[in-house]
Amino acid sequence: MNETLFHFVNQFAGSNGFLDDTMKFFAGKLVWVMIGIMAVLWFTGKLENQRIAFNSVLTAMLALGIGMFVIGPMIDHPRPFVSLTVNQLITHDADPSFPSDHSTFAFSLAFAAFLIKRKIGSVLLVLAALTGIGRVFVGVHFPFDVMGGMVLALICAFIVHILHRQTEPALKWCVRLYRKVTFQRQA
């Protein structure tokens, strides 16, 4: 099923220059747009927005740490271009593909934001989904790699959200430091 879904999405790669360029952007650069959104949220100076950015960073750190250093080496699943004939649009190392780091990161930001503010979280979820689709389209991930990253991110977002009382002092310290550095009055 994983290979069938992969081929269904990847079969369109290389057939349309505009679509290829769009999917390459989704696969590699859309996460930078999401990082930019997090930066804007932080720099608004509003505590709720700063909490979104802070929780998103914590979630991403936790999820990527687990994905890259525990799950990835344990599962050691090959990338599509290693085990199949694919339409590969971007170069990538032949490291383990499960879970997708890009998808884990993107969905970490999105789910953490969604648990605090549904509107911005929904926008980020769309961007995260486009990132995942792009990773499959360009030939560097299987659909289950993306879904694995999504599930891992969701679990980690819930953990960070549940532990908000324990992380609140760190958030407040970061906010105080930010306000000192930017010469803002303490709220």
Label each residue of 35-61 as H, E or C: HHHHHHHHHCCCHHHHHHHHHHHHHHH
pLDDT greater than 60 at residue 87: yes
The pLDDT of residue 186 is 57
> What is the tens place of the pLDDT at every residue in 8-60?
999 999 999 999 999 999 999 999 999 999 999 999 999 999 999 999 999 99
> What is the tens place of the pLDDT at every residue in 165-177?
999 999 999 999 9
Cα–Cα dist 156/163, whole Å: 11
3-class DSSP state of 29? coil
Cα–Cα dist 128/146, whole Å: 10
pTM score, whole prediction = 0.93
The pLDDT of residue 183 is 81
Q: Please tell me which residue, 185 or 78, carries the higher pLDDT value.
A: 78
Residue with tokens 């990538």: 92
Residue type, 46: K
